[in-house]
Amino acid sequence: MLFWFVAALLTVGASLAVLLPLARRGDDERAAESNDLEVYRDQLAELDRDAARGLIQPAEAEQARAEIARRILQADGRIAESTPKAPAGRMLPRIAATVAILAVPLVSWGIYAGIGSPGLPSQPLAERLAKNPADSTVDELVARAEAHLAANPSDGRGWDVLAPIYLRLGRYGEAVNAYRNAIRLDGASALRESGLGEATAGAAGGLVTEEARAAFARALELEPEQPKARYYLATALAQEGRTAEAKAAWQAMLAALPPNSPWHAATAQAIEQANSELAAAETPPAPGPTSEQVEAAADMSEEDRNAMIQTMVAGLDARLRENPQDPEGWARLLRSYVMLGDKQAASDALARGRQALGEDSDAARNLVALAGSLGLPATE
């Protein structure tokens, strides 16, 4: 019952705050016009006094009197328009605004009465944090842990529990701080050091920085087979372009993993990606028309030139269908089709090249950039 009383009080207050100025607007306008009218009459009386004393010429006095009279007539007209007896058409906007203002709370109350829960007891943060952990959400559990650590910053166990939760939530900066506190208070362990390394890499956008590598190295000193540390150190090799070394490190890690390790899938996928990159690097570029050959064809007749270029382009296209892992070949094919004026074929080649090279690969992005420079939108 208290809820409905407070809600009604707030609704009435909000409605009056809007309606009262709306109702007073006409009175305010009439008061302003009346003040103007008094000013004009004073000016007229002062003009008559100046004319009687000879301070103003009769012709000028007559002109000034006519101007003041005109203003008095205009003010009288405005006062008449703002009175309640004004035509009904001038009152319609004010009536519509009043109805709309009153309708908003009524409709809101009706909807809330149907779908709301006014009888639900309030849940202050302190009470929610005091609930049984099994009945709490992740955010409530994190808030409870943060409140505890704010009061007990030397609780190493609390930081140790909170750090991996921050990591799973993607709050990498807070995870780094929590891992450092846990290591400072409870000492280093392979799990804490590898967690610190992962959080540091996450904070750097996935890049395994020198700081992250140092943490992973410390984890391996404490536990030589620590899977997270081994995986990320191999990832660091791949990020440096040392794909073969990274592949060997992942293969050695995969061979040592227990059968039920959750790192099996990620490691196998990393090896597969490394194989694809190594195969692309070892594949010789598909032959095709070079830019010099296409420019030399400019000296031929148009018919011969088009025939020669189309033959070379068709051969390049066929070879790329058999061996699509050739970024340079796709780039030459794209340039050739654009030079031939066949934008439809160029768009098709762009789509096939992106699919073959991998939509998210650097080679595919370079191909899209080339298409843009040639005036071929990637969305075509």
Asked if 171 and 198 count as a contact pair (C-beta separation under 8 A), the reply is no
CATH topology of domain 139-282: 1.25.40
What is the C-alpha separation between 368 and 354, in angstroms, rounded?
Answer: 8
The pLDDT score that the predictor gives to residue 230 is 95
Q: Name residue 195's amino acid.
A: G
Q: What band does 133 get if pLDDT is binned at 50, 70 and 90? A: low
Could you tell me how many helices (H) and strands (E) the chain has, helices first? 17, 0
Q: Which CATH architecture has domain 291-373?
A: Alpha Horseshoe (1.25)
Radius of gyration of the chain (CA): 41
Query: For the residues 273-283, what does the mean pLDDT come to?
Result: 76
Its sign, for the CA torsion 348, 349, 355, 360, is: negative
Residue 251 has pLDDT above 80, yes or no: yes
Q: Name residue 248's amino acid.
A: A
Q: Take residue 4 and report the two structure tokens written for it.
A: 């409905």
Residue 109 has pLDDT above 80, yes or no: no
Mean pLDDT of the chain: 77
Query: In angstroms, how far is CA 372 from the centroid of its own chain?
Result: 25
What is the share, in percent, of the chain residues with pLDDT greater than 90?
A: 26
Q: Which has more confidence, 192 or 68?
A: 192
Q: What band does 192 get if pLDDT is binned at 50, 70 and 90? A: very high
Residue 282 has a CB neighbour count (10 Å cut-off) of 8
The pLDDT score that the predictor gives to residue 41 is 74
Residue 28 has pLDDT above 60, yes or no: no
Nearest to 326 by CA among 346, 352, 344, 347: 352
DSSP state of 56: S
The pLDDT score that the predictor gives to residue 137 is 75
Burial of 354 (0-12, 13-18, 19+ CB in 10 A): buried
Burial of 93 (0-12, 13-18, 19+ CB in 10 A): exposed
What is the C-alpha separation between 185 and 156, in angstroms, rounded?
Answer: 5
What's the pLDDT tens digit per position in 320-371?
888 888 888 888 888 788 777 788 888 888 889 888 888 888 788 878 877 7
Q: Which has more confidence, 309 or 206?
A: 206
Distances (CA, A) of 174 to 147, 191, 275: 15, 17, 36
Q: Take residue 43 and report the two structure tokens written for it.
A: 């000016």
The answer to which of 129-138, 151-160, 185-194, 251-260 has the lowest mean pLDDT is 129-138
Query: For the residues 155-161, what does the mean pLDDT come to?
Result: 92
What is the C-alpha separation between 339 and 346, in angstroms, rounded?
Answer: 10
Query: For the residues 266-284, what does the mean pLDDT come to?
Result: 81
Q: What is the DSSP string of 18-43?
A: HHHHHHHHHHHHHHHHHHHHHHHHHH
